[in-house]
Amino acid sequence: MATTKPPFGVYTPLVTFFKEDESLDLDAIKAHIKRMAEGGVAGLVLQGSNGEAPHLDHGERINIIQTTRSYLNELGFTTVKLIVGCGAASVRETLVLISEASQAGADYALVLPPAYWTAAMTPAVVENFFSSVAAEAKIPLLIYNFPGVTSGIDISSDSIVRLAKSNPGKIVGCKLTCGNLGKLQRVWSCLPEDSFAAFAGKSDFMLPGLVAGSNGVIAALANVVPALHVRLLNLWQDGKLQEARQLQSKLSNADGALQKVGVAGVKAVISHFFGYGTGRGRRPLGTTTVQALNREILEPLEDVIQLEKKQRSRLSRI
């Protein structure tokens, strides 16, 4: 088992494209993988919230992981890491998903707390769940804290720190989509940075997250503008804070717009501006197009997409 944390960098929580009959659109998925890798991301997060994980069966999950790993290798991006969503309602099912993901090529598992029996999920129960999974998992875990998809379960910094300390080399990070910068700061300050990766989970607080100790970012907007997120990371590392703040403001406005359109809307934006896939979600999620989005949503997205294309053009000349 690898015991190192995920490398510092930008990670895209990949959307899953479907054909009209709702089967996997592997051609669109591969086109998306290629654009992300060429944009400079450090890794891809498969089968997370943006990947419609609850809508995929085991065979489809395995297919996507294998396709992604083999295609990245074929393109020469062998160091791009794969973090794979493996959360389920029981320890047993979570371990099955992790085992399948590991065999298919995953480097890390991203695990939500179980949320079906919400009232029973006390901090002690949640911590026992993660420790039980970590004890038997084939690959290291990242704790996924996203109250919006777990009926409000919000894992505290105390719980995250306890879990990391009691499961060294097995629980190696967390994704904080909750947006709690104080939590991110506390986790960073209490755990060794060389062995635990606390990730900001949205673009709209990427730069503040870096200041607080984020290991980069895992952000839905990176599906649209990956190179621009890498640019912000580089500005931060180079100490160009004023320029970084200006770019962060554009990403924050675009991320705010993207949050209003849902997963299908993210795919519709990608389809319209980059020429692959469609805005189709698996039912009960709907299908949409860019034409259905109002100007208030599109303008901040068009702004960052234009900057993304300029950034990619600049990189291609280097």
Predicted local distance difference test score (pLDDT) of residue 313? 80
CB 133 within 8 Å of CB 101: no
User: Full-prediction pTM beyond 0.85?
Assistant: yes
- State how far the Cα of 124 lies from the Cα of 14, in Å rounded to an integer: 32
- State how far the Cα of 195 lies from the Cα of 85, in Å rounded to an integer: 20
Predicted local distance difference test score (pLDDT) of residue 3? 62
CB 39 within 8 Å of CB 11: no
- 167-189 pLDDT per residue, tens: 999 999 999 999 999 999 999 99
Segments in the chain below pLDDT 70: 1-3, 317-318
Across the chain, the runs of DSSP E, i.e. the strands, are 9-13, 43-46, 81-85, 108-111, 141-145, 171-176, 197-200, 216-218
| Positions marked catalytic | 144, 175
Alpha carbon distances (Å) from 35 to 71, 72, 123, 154, 236: 12, 11, 40, 33, 23
The one-letter amino acid at 142: L
Predicted local distance difference test score (pLDDT) of residue 2? 47
**Is residue 249 a part of any domain in this protein?**
no
Question: The domain containing residue 104 runs over which residues?
Answer: 9-239
**Is residue 302 a part of any domain in this protein?**
no
Alpha carbon distances (Å) from 10 to 13, 39, 150, 200: 10, 10, 24, 10
Split into its structural domains, the chain has a count of 1
- State how far the Cα of 83 lies from the Cα of 45, in Å rounded to an integer: 5
**Is residue 209 a part of any domain in this protein?**
yes
Which positions ≥6 away from 291 have C-beta within 8 Å? Answer: none
**Is residue 144 a part of any domain in this protein?**
yes
Predicted local distance difference test score (pLDDT) of residue 128? 98
**Is residue 182 a part of any domain in this protein?**
yes
The CATH number assigned to the domain holding 226 equals 3.20.20.70
Is there a binding annotation on residue 218? yes
Predicted local distance difference test score (pLDDT) of residue 312? 81
Alpha carbon distances (Å) from 179 to 99, 114, 154, 183, 212: 30, 20, 11, 9, 12
**Is residue 142 a part of any domain in this protein?**
yes
